[in-house]
Amino acid sequence: MNARAVLLQVVLAVLALVAAVLVWQRGSAGLPGEVTVLEFSSRALQRVRFDDEARVVELFRDERNAETLWVRLGEKPGELRGNEMAKSLFTGLAPLKAIRALGVQDEKKLEEMGLTGSPRKLTLTVAGQQQVLTLGARQGEELPNPYARREDGSVFLLGPSLVPQLESAAALLVDRRMHTFELGEFDAFVVFQGANVRSFVVKGAPPEPVTVAPQQTPEAPDELARAWLDRVWRLPPRDMLGRGEEPPGGEPEEVFRVEFKRGGRVLGQLTVARGGEGDFFARTEHTAGWVRLLSGVDALAAMAVTVAAGN
């Protein structure tokens, strides 16, 4: 889903929410306002699961590092690293709030709201206990349903962003960065290709010009190495594989590797490898696992031979 489609979905969600408030005829009196659906602390929230007819999305904390959030999409064998939006969504659920409390509704009203027999669920695991909300079924191809029913029968009108964000988790909540540092934050790199190893120094940072030179001759810029580094740094991921997920055809074979350094300390690394079916994959210090790359890496791999050999 591209950014334009996501924006359209959010706009439609807001319109649906406004419409739900305007046409509401029964339920608790008063103007819309923030009400608590489920009361719990951010520390107690362990897992969020969203189910509907087309997808399953889970967000959960890392067992060893509570600051790390993982996203699991459907039956994908491994989890993906959650981005800042995912972290904001997760922590923002504590406590779970709604725009309006609508009370307990009769069967006719529940059916009108799409809550009767709806397969859509939001399950929160809090301090080891699961709390399940039934979400209103879709009432059209694009418009989301803002209604949610608690296990005690109480109905609420949710805010406009929660469900659309979970529905678009693959596009919105997955961290697609290869590194957490930027070009210009490292002052050296080392290229490993076959039996060859070659070190370079880097000066400058965007938007200013960046120069690259062999470590042995730091005053002699190497334009080929600079152009190669630029392409390596901008390698775009096509498909993020989950943690522990093996690429088709088995474990890829390394083609070249780059270590990025600052002040002699390793900041991170990038390994580019060829899979058993011919595709190229990459893995870094930040990715959850292997990342399938777009086409065009063959030329970059061929350049790596020259850059590492120095001829």
- 64-73 per-position pLDDT tens digit: 888 899 999 9
Task: Map tokens 């880097």 to a residue.
Answer: 202
User: What pLDDT is recorded for position 230?
Assistant: 96
pTM as predicted: 0.83
- What is the longest distance spanned by two Cα atoms in the chain? 80
What's the confidence (pLDDT) of residue 30?
38
pLDDT of residue 146: 86
Cα–Cα dist 241/63, whole Å? 20
* Predicted confidence (pLDDT) per residue in 157-206, tens digit: 998 889 999 999 999 999 999 999 999 999 999 999 999 999 999 999 99
Partner residues linked to 68 by β-bridges: none
Cis peptide before 164 (omega within 30 of 0): no
Residue 76 binned pLDDT confidence (cut-offs 50, 70, 90): confident
Nearest by Cα to 56 from 72, 78, 79, 80: 72
By mean pLDDT, which of 4-13, 36-45, 88-97, 107-116 is the weakest?
4-13
pLDDT band at 26 (very low <50, low <70, confident <90, very high): very low
Contact indicator for 124, 96 with CB cutoff of 8 Å: yes
CB of 247 closer than 8 Å to CB of 279:
yes
More confident call, 62 vs 140: 62
Helices (H) and strands (E) in the chain, counts: 7, 19
Strand ranges in 22-168 using DSSP code E only, listed in sequence order: 35-38, 45-51, 56-61, 69-73, 80-81, 96-98, 100-104, 121-126, 129-135, 147-149, 154-157
Cα gap 246→77, rounded to integer Å: 9
Would you place residue 32 in the very low, low, confident or very high pLDDT band (cuts 50, 70, 90)?
Answer: low
- Sign, Cα dihedral of 36, 37, 41, 43: negative
Helix (H) / strand (E) element for 126: namely strand 121-126
25-29, 31-35, 146-150: which has the minimum mean pLDDT? 25-29
Q: Band of the pLDDT at 142, cuts 50, 70, 90?
A: low
Percentage above 90 pLDDT, the chain: 78
Least confident window among 25-29, 215-219, 245-249, 268-272: 25-29
User: What is the per-residue pLDDT for 141?
Assistant: 60
